[in-house]
Structure 1
Amino acid sequence: MWNATGGWSDGSDGFLMAPGARIVGRAGDSYKMSISIPTEEHGFLGRQCPRCRQSYRVEADAHQGLPDDAELWCVYCGHHDDPNEFLTQQQLDRAVRAVEDLGVQLIGQELDRAFGGIASRRPRHRSGFGIQITYRSKPFYPEPLPGIDEEKLIRVRTCADCSLRYAVFGEHRFCPACGQLPPMIVALDALAAETARLDLLKQLPAQTAAHAREQGVFTRLWVDTLENLVGVVEALGSAVFRGTVADADQRLRGKNNIFQRLVDLADLFVDAGYPDLRDRVDAQQWQRLIKFWATRHVFTHNDGLVDDKFLAKVPASTARVGQRLTITEELCRQAIADTEALCRALVGLTKP
């Protein structure tokens, strides 16, 4: 149920419940309650992972339409369990309030029985062994249930496999309904995040940007971009190869970090009977990618200082051994664009 409205509801056994809560059944001393959970303005229902405690949103109608035996996935860590385990703290507070309201009335009902009913509101006295007890029954009127006011939506996604619409607040790897996202979707998300980070740098106030640039913050972030691009291709290449090559484990034995090396990556697929990756991207793009990967390598392993290995991979470079390479925003944006083309070509290798 979503967004119940109205006044107090007269539930089972005459209990008064706040709008959005009602008693729908009873078995002995056990009561079954229905408690509405309001959605946000776009019709999305908040969810919170019981394992990592991070929050996301699921379109309420789709969530309500899930099969009875369906599990819900955390979009961030991949934990999956009964959908009822994914209540947010505010939703739980709302449910607890409704249960407390019922509890107060149950206790009052038992006290009324113990002290002779509630037909009269006059104080009743019971005494024994010199002890006098005074009890006065009074009606209970529940306060409105706590509302739901959680973080606003920014990023809404639609799963390519099951079409579920959901919203996330950070990097994620899973669909709430069908689990692991396709490797290409993960790669494109990661590339979009790199572009967004570069865009954020351009939005810094001038004085802040100047101070950050002077401290080397920009350069380090640009180096991180190249490092992350290599990681994107490594993860995608591994997922595609392991997902399509029957004897992948045997072919990869002893070839550590092979998915980080572009030439070896291309040769790996060729040896497994697939087209040459180098033929699936523009020749100039391939040469730029080789340079980007080599640049990342010297920054990761040699503080950006040119060595003989770099010059062997990038013979057209005008840099000399011992000089430090420079990185720019423009170089990073070009690297992102070329990496996306490489990722698309990589996935296309295994398609008929």
Structure 2
Amino acid sequence: MRHLRNLGSQFSISLPPDEEGFIGRECPVAECEGYFKVQPGTGLKGENLPCHCPYCGQGTDSNNFLTKAQVEYAKSVVMREVTGALLKDLKSLEFNHRPKGAFGIGISMKVTGKPSAIRHYRESRLETEVVCDRCTLRYTIYGVFGFCPDCGVHNSSQILNKNLELVRKLLEVAETQESQVAQHLIENALEDCVSAFDGFGRETCRAFAAKAVKPSKAAEIRFQNIGGARDKVREQFGVDFAATVPPDEWKQIQNAFQKRHLLAHRMGVIDENYLTATGVAPSMFGRKVSIDATEVRDLSAALKVLGGKLFTLLEVKK
């Protein structure tokens, strides 16, 4: 059995990347089993680095993140090597003794067959590619938000900043349009600003929910009503993200969110709730709220700072 012995007791098997250079990973946590992909050669350098699931955040040895398809592929490669070596060894034992004499009996042994087949697989296509702004790992996930598989940092701030950059580009387009189209784009930009911060805030609170008084309630905090979100974050996490910006800037952020609410639910027409929340003159009741590009641009810049402050407050909280 020379060929079998030459195989040794261990096998080193390379996993083939997809056409874009990514290799699939699967969370080992039974309640998650989330599928994602990473690009080898990017991210952290070193030996025995842990891997983190982008979806549930759990981290453990990277060897535990093999996908089921990869395991079956590795098994099939091993079986092909073993059966191939076994066939070669058995082939070396073939013989053919021809019959001798008038009534002689001949005997022979011939080995047929071929090594077992390899179970090839294809990595699945995912929805969002991310380059971590902390460790530069390139990875792809379902959805948008997630923890970096290498350094474990949640990408909510990174996604917020990208969305706010798109808002600024939309405002640049508005400058080249006629007044009605420009106003429509400005109002859309305001909506995008609020939606981006709402998505960021929800995901950030969910990512750090384990630090909250009641994790289930922290994961449900919504940020379209930013004043209400401030109260709930303070209640669950014991931090006041609004206090990280000047009072007049916080007031401007609140007013912009109120304007977005009118545009989304009342065609921009001022109602009693807006008068109470903002303190504008009662004579404005029934008029259409005004919003200009400068106001949205300032909101975008303020939310970038406010988002960074909120993320840091929750990240460093013990």
- TM-score normalised according to structure 2 size: 0.58
Q: Distance in 2 between matches of 1:320 and 1:35?
A: 72
Aligned to 1:117: 93
Aligned to 2:191: 223
Aligned to 2:3: 14
Aligned to 2:26: 49
Partner-residue secondary structure (3-state), 1:305: coil
Asked if the contact 1:24–1:34 (Cα under 8 Å) also holds between the matched residues in 2, the reply is no
Q: Would you say 1:339 and 2:308 are equivalent positions?
A: no
List gaps (5 residues or longer) in structure 2.
28-32, 99-107
Please state how far the C-alpha of 1:34 moved relative to its aligned partner.
Answer: 1.1
Partner-residue secondary structure (3-state), 2:35: coil
Partner-residue secondary structure (3-state), 1:174: coil
Change (3 A) 1:135 1:260: same
Q: How many residues of Structure 1 are paired with residues of Structure 2 in the alignment?
A: 286
Q: 1:290 aligns with which of 232, 254, 272?
A: 254
Please state how far the C-alpha of 1:33 moved relative to its aligned partner.
Answer: 1.4
Q: What is the CA deviation profile of residues 144-168 of structure 1, one whole-angstrom value per residue up to 9, with x for unaligned ones?
A: x9999x99x9743264xxxx55222
For 1:1-352, list aligned pairs within 5 A.
13-14=2-3, 23-25=7-9, 32-37=10-15, 46-50=23-27, 51-57=33-39, 59=41, 65-66=47-48, 72-78=51-57, 80=59, 83-87=62-66, 95=74, 98-105=77-84, 108-109=87-88, 112=90, 117-118=93-94, 135=110, 155-157=130-132, 159=134, 165-169=136-140, 171-177=144-150, 179=152, 181=153, 186-198=155-167, 222-233=190-201, 243=211, 260-262=225-227, 265=230, 277-278=242-243, 280-302=244-266, 304-316=268-280, 320-325=284-289, 331-346=295-310
**Which amino acid counterpart does residue 194 of structure 1 have in structure 2?**
N
Change (3 A) 1:338 1:46: same
Q: Distance in 2 between matches of 1:66 and 1:199?
A: 42
Q: Distance in 1 between matches of 2:278 and 2:201?
A: 20
**Which amino acid counterpart does residue 48 of structure 2 have in structure 1?**
L
Q: Distance in 2 between matches of 1:203 and 1:91?
A: 47
Asked if the contact 2:195–2:224 (Cα under 8 Å) also holds between the matched residues in 1, the reply is no
Q: Distance in 2 between matches of 1:231 and 1:288?
A: 20
Q: What is the CA deviation profile of residues 178-215 of structure 1, one whole-angstrom value per residue up to 9, with x for unaligned ones?
A: 64x3xxx64422322313543776899xxxx99xx79x
Whose strand fraction is larger, Structure 1's or Structure 2's?
A: 1
Change (3 A) 1:237 1:319: farther
Q: What is the CA deviation profile of residues 56-92 of structure 1, one whole-angstrom value per residue up to 9, with x for unaligned ones?
A: 335479577126xx5x322234355653343468966
Q: Distance in 2 between matches of 1:321 and 1:138?
A: 87
Q: What is the CA deviation profile of residues 261-315 of structure 1, one whole-angstrom value per residue up to 9, with x for unaligned ones?
A: 4388379859x9988945x424542232011221233345545432111123334
* Identity value in percent: 15
Q: Distance in 2 between matches of 1:46 and 1:345?
A: 34
Q: Distance in 2 between matches of 1:289 and 1:173?
A: 27
Q: Distance in 1 between matches of 2:207 and 2:296?
A: 25
Q: What is the CA deviation profile of residues 232-252 of structure 1, one whole-angstrom value per residue up to 9, with x for unaligned ones?
A: 3466579889849xxx56xx9
**Which amino acid counterpart does residue 99 of structure 1 have in structure 2?**
V
Q: Distance in 1 between matches of 2:169 and 2:72?
A: 36
Q: Distance in 2 between matches of 1:136 and 1:264?
A: 75
Output the aligned Cα RMSD. Answer: 5.9
Asked if the contact 1:222–1:328 (Cα under 8 Å) also holds between the matched residues in 2, the reply is no
Change (3 A) 1:99 1:289: same
List gaps (5 residues or longer) in structure 1.
1-11, 17-21, 26-31, 124-132
